[in-house]
Amino acid sequence: MKRRPLIALGALSPLTAFLPAAHAAAVGQAAPDFTLTDTAGKPVKLSDFRGKHVVLEWNNPGCPFVRKHYQGNMQALQKEAADKGLVWLAINSTEDASSDYLTPPQLGRWMSEQKGVPTATLMDEDGKVGRAYAARVTPHMYVIDPQGKLAYAGGIDSIPSARVDDIPKATNYIRQAMTEIAAGKPLSVSTSRPYGCTIKYAV
């Protein structure tokens, strides 16, 4: 099973299958609305959460960078988000022809086994939502403010590795954002370099 880690936004050469939308989301602009189906078959619409902060997490259980953060870090962030009244949507844009693809029941079972607690786990097999957000890797992270504008886009933290031991040493941008949101402060970091495995988009 081949995976290509991507460390920086500028490293576009491996992304032959990645074609972002002509007007992809940018920090400070309106976040593209979407409706996706969760792993139980229920439609979930982003705009239904207007008035709340929303975290988007691009997810692929086959990616070692995702597995790194699901050793407890991602689940802790999801719980903290719920405790602070934030919505957390995990999105999987892996095409169904990929060896990493999981069916909705399989992905739902995986999330349950990991004791993940996102608000919803969503399927984006055609990649339209991922491309609208210019999501390149897993885990690529976003924060949307209560007015529906994109407030953060980038990596989960500051150390681009697949090593669990690096988690305590890194600046966790999502936890930092949630802390600042809870304090009523503007986000001190609105963009950072995403890192992880290239999303396997449908061609």
Report the pLDDT value the prediction gives residue 10, as an integer from 0 to 100: 33
Residue range 94-109: mean pLDDT, rounded? 97
Percent of the chain with pLDDT over 70: 89
> Tell me: the pLDDT tens digits for 60-86?
999 999 999 999 999 999 999 999 999
**Two tokens at 53?**
């902060």
Looking at residue 39, its amino acid is T
**What distance in Å separates the CA atoms of residue 171 and residue 160, rounded to the nearest whole number?**
11
Residue 186 has pLDDT above 70, yes or no: yes
Q: Which helix (H) or strand (E) holds 6?
A: strand 5-6
- pLDDT of residue 148 exceeding 90, the answer is yes
State the fold for domain 53-135+150-192: Glutaredoxin (3.40.30)
* 102-131 pLDDT tens trace: 999 999 999 999 999 999 999 999 999 999
Tell me: pLDDT of 136 over 50.
yes
Collect contacts of 125-129 with beta carbons under 8 A, ≥24 apart.
125/93, 125/94, 125/95, 125/96, 125/101, 125/202, 126/95, 126/202, 127/93, 127/95, 127/199, 127/201, 127/202, 128/34, 129/32, 129/34, 129/36, 129/91, 129/93
pLDDT value at 16 more than 90? no
pLDDT at residue number 31 = 97
Residues above pLDDT 90, as percent of the chain: 87
Question: What residue spans of 70-139 are helical by DSSP H?
Answer: 73-83, 104-113, 128-132
How high is the pLDDT of residue 21? 53
Quick one: pLDDT band at residue 23, thresholds 50, 70, 90?
A: low
| 36: three-class secondary structure by DSSP | strand
pLDDT in tens, 28-42: 999 999 999 999 999
